[in-house]
Structure 1
Amino acid sequence: MSKKIKEKRKHYYSGIDGLRALAVMGVIFYHLFPDIGVGGYLGVVILFALSGYFVTDSLLKNWRLDGKVSLVSFYEKRIKRLYPELLGFFVFTITFSKLLNVHLLENIRSIFFSAIFQWNNIWQILHGQSYFDNFSGRSPYLHLWSLSIEGQFYLLISLLFCYWIYRQKKITPKARAKAFLTLVILAIFSFALMVILYQPNVDTTRIYYGTDTRLFSLLIGSACAVLLPSDQLELKVKIKRKALWNIVGLGSAFFIVISYFLFPATHAFPYLGGMFLYSIFSCMIILLIIHPQTKLNQWLTNPVFTWIGKRSYAIYLYQLPVIVLYESNVPNIGNHPYLNSLVELVLIAICAHFSYSLLGQEQSKKNVRNHKGMQVGLILGLTMCVFSVLVLFTTPKHIANQQQDQLTKKITENKKNMEQKPPQEKNTSVLEQKYQLTSQQVANAQKLPITTIGDSVMLATSDTLKELFPLMNIDAEVGRQVYQSIEIPKKLASKNKLEETVLVDLGTNGSFTDEQFDRFMQAIGSKRKVYWVNVLVPDKKWQNTVNDSLRKLEQKYDNLTVLDWFDYSKGHSEWFYEDQIHPNKEGSIQLTQFVAKAILSQAK
């Protein structure tokens, strides 16, 4: 192969590393601060567009320069690039999960093989693994869905390419136009499926994980590569007003950062056009970086972005397991969210650097065996490999957790009893003693109709609440968040089940925006009295955010009273299950007593 052809084949755009850095930083920010970096998930859209463009561009170059495309060579390159670090990632997560939190290894064999064979996104859909259930669905492997979609895309695009080559002897403008049109139609079809399957105020994991509904970002990138390949971009697109395009490029980079704060995944916009437009926008940025007449490549090139961009794959792999392992072992993380996040970022950087240096592309550029301490590292690595393989094949599918199993059983029984058992008369003297209430308070509670909207905390307490308030109607679901509850008051009202007194316990599973809160309160109505129990989730960063928001919003609504369960339960770890969130038998009594005294003191 001539030197000229090699240079064409290996042209490097440092600004692309900058774009990768911005993308992966968005994803990390979304996982570290889901209440602030609400749109950080869009970083994956950028990564998809990048993969779509450069994989297709590489196939086109091979065809033009070699006159053929070798599928064996194509797959071999993908495997060599992706699998060493992916296997190293599993060695790391399995080893440290076994040492620090064995419950994270639930279903580990299924997760491992679904990731290796590139169908993890489908496995997660089939097993109800929600990407947006920040509480009960927190797993160090949730993010592997995107790698599987990329793997499936590599298979699809390579087969489409081979079919194209079979039909075409050479790349003519007409053939290029047909290929472009085909890819665009497929992208539109994928986006249309997302729009059709989207349902407001419902967990969007199915369309977020689905290959059929997410492929459009990769296909748009692929279509751009067919129409405007990197080594012909300057010939095909003449830029006359360089200053204008430089401003567009700089504004585009700025918009990427701003978008991480603007478009929550719980809103309709991302699914009804936002992600599609963002994919087009990402491709425009890619083209502006590559075009030699613009300065965006130069502006996105700096040592920090280059370091992050080169390690973006490793950073993406390790960011979620580091966050999950750290936050599941550090108590009261919500008290110092920024300090803990800084520690997590350092740990992510360390893990990613070692992965990239020892297993990634950097490994092939130098002889790491000559490094000092390599023998010790090799022994440690082999030990971890053997240990992780043993754990992988000996860990049971379901890992017993006595307290968690008790909680699950209690919630299941409480939900069943709510649906089946009619209110029963209780001995008032027993209730007075149990809940430390006066006879008059108990009598008032027995006659007071209340509507309750909540999550698993409410379900864990529903038996004691119904015992004291037999006329209470409870609507609660595990993992429920505010954005999923906006329409519930209207549905209850249509069935004449929305009482004048409303008890709410939401926020345990994630924060909410003021707009979501306002819509929820408007659905309840200003004439009803709302009592909102604040949250106790010591291992989640959004604990203080939710409680601060509730305090602020209490001043806005005259019919809202916030019940400070967080402060009331402080120092009483014996009231809770092991997670220090869900009340146990004694905690349920205490929460019911706390709620009852607050409501009855204001009841007419």
Structure 2
Amino acid sequence: MTAVLAEPKAPETLVPAPPRPHLPGLDGVRGIAVLLVLAYHAVPERLPGGFVGVDVFFVLSGFLITGLLLREKEETGTVRLRRFWVRRVRRLVPALVVMLTVVSAATLMVGHETGSGLRSQVVGALTWTGNWIQVHQGWSYSDQHLPPLLNHLWSLGIEEQFYLLWPLLLVAALVVLKRRASLYAVSLLALASIALMAFWYRGGDATRAYMGLDSHAFGLLLGAALALSAAPHLVGGSSAPADPAAAGASRRRTLLGVVGLAGVVAFAVLVTWNSDVTFLGGLGLASVASVALIHAAANPGPVAAVLGCAPLRWLGERSYGLYLWHWPLIVFAVRLAPPAEAEVVGCLAAAVAVVMAAVSYRWVEVPMCRDGIGVTLRRWGAALQGRGAGGVRRSRLVAAATAFTAVLAAAAVWQAPAESDVENLLRVGQEVVIDSADDIESAPEPVPDPAPSAPPRACQPVAEGSPVTAFGDSVTVAIAPVLMGRRPGSVAVATVGWQYGDVAAALRQVAAAGQLQPTVVIATGTNGTIDTADLDRLVSQELAGRQVALVTPSVPGRSWSDQAVAAVQQVAAAHDNVRLVDWNGLAVQHPELTASDRVHPNAHGQNVYNDLLSQALVSC
């Protein structure tokens, strides 16, 4: 969720470039985008669609990068690709390396499994392949209980892959095609990328749909299309003359810019990451809204004036460092604090990230872009040494501290476990779940279910060892190995990140196929609210005549926790054939039963969870 955020306003000295005007309105767009991302990560339940800020960055990056390349082509007749890539390295790499070093070293002090998977995450960050590594590892973006420390760098990977390929494609397109034909071609590529996101999502892989370059390049391409279609002043020339036609165009830009901003904000407030809307064109429409917003912000007018206000400009100029630092600091904070304080410590971590971003901008980003990496490092050394014995001592202290931090970071990366305890138990559990699904598919033709209208039987004891069909999310995945061991022939239908709607749809599908056991276990609510009325319909219709166990979810500190628990309790109380399994009550009293994320049962908790289930099923 980054971008080529702000180019520091100081000009380069080692690689001369023609001067270009600074557009304060675009700094404001960056400021809004990074605020959306910060709010989404610090208080995700209050701004569920704040991740759209990443797509605003993508559109802005595609627009600026393409504009710079076009301007150089028009003014010099060529595009110096080496110069372009050197500037990208200067802009992005030094600040990234500083953050990676400090954060990696900090994992040794923070603990709480913050270093899990650190090696592959650092490799992904330094090679700009973090998005593909996360796709390969199958990490679910919707599972927020124990996210990777550096998972936010997936978007930096997409941008750098784009920066590597796009100048080559653009130069080739301008040679073969006219500018307008290139605009049409780029627009078609953007539409194809939107379609690919929908294709991968419909294929059941939301992470692949979201993090693939092919399926998430549409924002960058739409920004490039805007640059290709723009008047010269949008890519660095002078403003258009003030005439009646220009005034009318300005009013239209202003109106579209306001509508675009409203569309982005509405998406941030109303749409969740795991919604169908997100993947089936929603992010594409949000990117189109960003095009309208950026078009207005890049031209003189009310939108540019408002977005160019000092606070937004200040944030926008420092948005790259703010993006780099905010997520690791939030992860550290929420791992250390009680779940009930997650929002408070998340906001405090975001505030600390602002300070770190200011330091990064002043001491790393601006000098590296202006003077180059080698010159900046030599200047730092000379400044530290100063004159006299005091300067030498200061230089030695700083060098020692830097070396110590680097050694700690290297040690943290070297010894980091490949996966956390939670990831390990979910991986093992998911294998058991998959095996149980294979068992049900290869089972003999089942006896037809009773008619849905059959009256439910009253509560009947279910013996220990009797098979069940269990439906749920990652908690069901975690307890599946013990469940299958104690109840041979059982089947678990569960996936990490599932919400109530996913669980209900899976249950109805299995019920329609006539493959339900006489006893059914439902454990949902870990990742969101429960539709109480629909759960009651499930019990009354699809599960009529069966013995049912409803498990209360335990997700301390989450806003939906009370609603989910109340929904399960209400439905269980309304039906004689339903038992309540109060896992939440037990886990709250005994947090030692859960893993480091305070949600999934640990090895001991898995046995206790199944004990609780057996006690509920055997009693009436």
TM-score by length of 2: 0.78
Matched, 1:277 2:295: no
Write the distance in 1 (CA, Å) between the matches of 2:383 and 2:108: 32
Matched, 1:151 2:170: no
Matched, 1:176 2:179: yes
Deviation at 1:94, TM superposition (A): 0.9
Write the distance in 2 (CA, Å) between the matches of 1:339 and 1:307: 24
Q: Which among 87, 103, 110 is matched to residue 77 of structure 1?
A: 87
Deviation at 1:364, TM superposition (A): 6.0
After superposition, what is the alpha-carbon deviation per residue over 1:193-218, rounded to whole angstroms, capped at 9, x for unaligned? Answer: 22222227x34001111111111111
Matched, 1:161 2:170: yes
Q: What amino acid sits opposite 1:344 in the alignment?
A: A
Q: Assess if the C-alpha contact under 8 Å between 1:180 and 1:227 holds in 2.
A: yes
Deviation at 1:298, TM superposition (A): 1.0
Q: Which among 507, 510, 514 is matched to residue 496 of structure 1?
A: 514
- What SS does the corresponding residue of 1:213 show, helix, strand or coil? coil
Matched, 1:219 2:221: yes
Q: Which among 395, 415, 436 is matched to residue 415 of structure 2?
A: 395
Other-structure match for 2:57: 47
Q: What amino acid sits opposite 1:148 in the alignment?
A: G
Deviation at 1:460, TM superposition (A): 4.3
Other-structure match for 1:511: 528
Matches within 5 A, 1:358-397: 358-361=363-366, 375=394, 378-379=398-399, 382-383=402-403, 385-388=405-408, 390-391=410-411, 394-395=414-415
Return closer, same or farther for 1:382/1:446 CA change in 2, 3 Å cut-off: closer
Other-structure match for 2:334: 327
Deviation at 1:178, TM superposition (A): 1.3
Return closer, same or farther for 1:525/1:216 CA change in 2, 3 Å cut-off: farther
Other-structure match for 2:298: 290
Q: Assess if the C-alpha contact under 8 Å between 1:407 and 1:577 holds in 2.
A: no
- What SS does the corresponding residue of 1:211 show, helix, strand or coil? coil
Other-structure match for 1:345: 350
Q: CA RMSD in A?
A: 4.0
Write the distance in 2 (CA, Å) between the matches of 1:444 and 1:562: 14
Deviation at 1:221, TM superposition (A): 0.7
Q: Which moved more, 1:6-15 or 1:70-79?
A: 6-15
Write the distance in 2 (CA, Å) between the matches of 1:472 and 1:199: 29
Q: What amino acid sits opposite 1:67 in the alignment?
A: G
Return closer, same or farther for 1:512/1:8 CA change in 2, 3 Å cut-off: farther
Q: What amino acid sits opposite 2:562 in the alignment?
A: N
Other-structure match for 2:196: 193
Deviation at 1:43, TM superposition (A): 1.0
Q: Which among 36, 39, 56 is matched to residue 46 of structure 2?
A: 36
- What SS does the corresponding residue of 2:471 show, helix, strand or coil? strand
- What SS does the corresponding residue of 2:29 show, helix, strand or coil? helix
- What SS does the corresponding residue of 2:336 show, helix, strand or coil? coil
Other-structure match for 2:492: 474
Other-structure match for 1:315: 322
Q: Assess if the C-alpha contact under 8 Å between 1:32 and 1:323 holds in 2.
A: yes
Other-structure match for 1:451: 469
Write the distance in 1 (CA, Å) between the matches of 2:77 and 2:230: 19
- What SS does the corresponding residue of 2:202 show, helix, strand or coil? coil
Write the distance in 2 (CA, Å) between the matches of 1:281 and 1:124: 28
Deviation at 1:577, TM superposition (A): 4.8
After superposition, what is the alpha-carbon deviation per residue over 1:314-358, rounded to whole angstroms, capped at 9, x for unaligned? Answer: 11111221111222222x22x133322222222222222222222
Q: How many matched pairs?
A: 561
Percent of matched pairs sharing the same residue: 25
Other-structure match for 1:65: 75
Return closer, same or farther for 1:240/1:417 CA change in 2, 3 Å cut-off: closer
After superposition, what is the alpha-carbon deviation per residue over 1:72-126, rounded to whole angstroms, capped at 9, x for unaligned? Answer: 1111111111111111121122111122227443444443333223222222222
After superposition, what is the alpha-carbon deviation per residue over 1:209-234, rounded to whole angstroms, capped at 9, x for unaligned? Answer: 11111111111110110110403774
Deviation at 1:176, TM superposition (A): 1.6
Matched, 1:485 2:503: yes
TM-score by length of 1: 0.80
Matched, 1:91 2:78: no
Q: Assess if the C-alpha contact under 8 Å between 1:32 and 1:341 holds in 2.
A: yes
After superposition, what is the alpha-carbon deviation per residue over 1:542-581, rounded to whole angstroms, capped at 9, x for unaligned? Answer: 2x42333442686589558865432333332444455544
Q: What amino acid sits opposite 1:198 in the alignment?
A: Y
Write the distance in 1 (CA, Å) between the matches of 2:230 and 2:423: 56
After superposition, what is the alpha-carbon deviation per residue over 1:368-425, rounded to whole angstroms, capped at 9, x for unaligned? Answer: 88699994784476235532553266336637x7x66985697479659967999xxx
Q: Which among 261, 275, 280 is matched to residue 269 of structure 2?
A: 261
5+ residue gaps, structure 2: 1-10, 372-378, 441-458
5+ residue gaps, structure 1: 169-174, 423-440
Q: Which among 194, 204, 207 is matched to residue 206 of structure 2?
A: 204
Q: What amino acid sits opposite 1:209 in the alignment?
A: M
Write the distance in 2 (CA, Å) between the matches of 1:388 and 1:241: 57
Q: Assess if the C-alpha contact under 8 Å between 1:445 and 1:468 holds in 2.
A: no
Write the distance in 1 (CA, Å) between the matches of 2:343 and 2:603: 34
Q: Assess if the C-alpha contact under 8 Å between 1:220 and 1:280 holds in 2.
A: yes
Return closer, same or farther for 1:524/1:262 CA change in 2, 3 Å cut-off: farther
- What SS does the corresponding residue of 2:26 show, helix, strand or coil? helix
